[in-house]
Amino acid sequence: MSAGLGVTHSEMNNGDKLLRFLQIWIKPDRKHYKPNYGSRVFGREDRHNKLHHVATSYDNYGNTEKDEGSGIIPIHQDANIFISEIDSDFTQEYLLQRRRQLYLVCIEGSLSVNKIVHMEARDALEVEGDEKDDQPLELTATGNRGAHFIMLEMAKA
C-alpha cells in the first residue's frame, strides 16, 4: 500500500484466531504520490526452494505508474523484496551487489547465512554490501523444519 496524500492506514485481526503479521514500512523515494494498493496471492510453489521476487521499484517494473494487478508489485523506492521457503539443508544463493544492503527476516524455521550467522524464527539480520565488490550469500535451512524467510534488498544508505 502506498498511502499517498491524506490517507491513514492500520491493520488489525478481526477474528479470534491467532494471526501472524509482518508489517514492513518502506519510505517512498519522494512525496505526493497518489494513493495506491497492490495485493497478490503467491502460492508455496512460487517460493519453494527459490527466491520469489514479490516487489520492485517502478523503474524496474517498466517505468509506468500503472500496477497491472499481477506479478511483481511495483513500489516507489529502489528496493526489492523476495520471499522463500526452503527445505532443510537446501542452500539458496544470492549475490548482493556492491553498494547495496539487505534486511533478512527468518519467519519460520532456522537459517544459516554463509555458515557464520545462525538465525531462528523471528530473528532479523542486516547485511551491508561492500563498496567495491559484490558479496555472495549462502542462505541454508538448518534443522529439520526448513526455513521461511523474507529479504528486502535496497540501495545502501
Assigned C-alpha cell, 26 = 518502506
Q: How far apart are CA 118 and CA 144, in angstroms?
A: 14
Output helix, strand, coil percentages for the chain, rounded to the nearest 5.
Answer: 5, 45, 50
* Type of residue at 23: Q
pLDDT of 6 above 60: yes
Q: 19 versus 113: which is more confidently predicted?
A: 113
- Prediction pTM value: 0.88
Q: pLDDT by residue (tens digit) across 74-99?
A: 888 999 999 999 999 999 999 999 99
Q: Report, as an integer, the average pLDDT of 104-115.
A: 97
pLDDT of 55 above 70: yes
Residue 73: burial class (beta carbons within 10 Å; 0-12, 13-18, 19+): buried
> Three-state SS across 87-135?
CCCCEEEEEECCCEEEEEEEEEEEEEECCCEEEECCCEEEEECCCCCCE
Residue 23: burial class (beta carbons within 10 Å; 0-12, 13-18, 19+): exposed
* Type of residue at 13: N
pLDDT of 63 above 60: no
What per-residue confidence (pLDDT) applies to 113? 97
Q: 1 versus 146: which is more confidently predicted?
A: 146
pLDDT of 54 above 80: yes
Query: 128 pairs with which residues across the strands?
Result: 101
What per-residue confidence (pLDDT) applies to 118? 97
Please give the mean pLDDT across all residues of the chain. 88
pLDDT of 36 above 80: no
Q: Report, as an integer, the average pLDDT of 149-155.
A: 96
Split at pLDDT 50, 70, 90, the class of 10 is confident
pLDDT of 70 above 80: no
Q: Is 138 helix (H, G, I), strand (E, B) or coil?
A: strand
Q: How far apart are CA 12 and CA 120, in angstroms?
A: 25
What per-residue confidence (pLDDT) applies to 85? 97
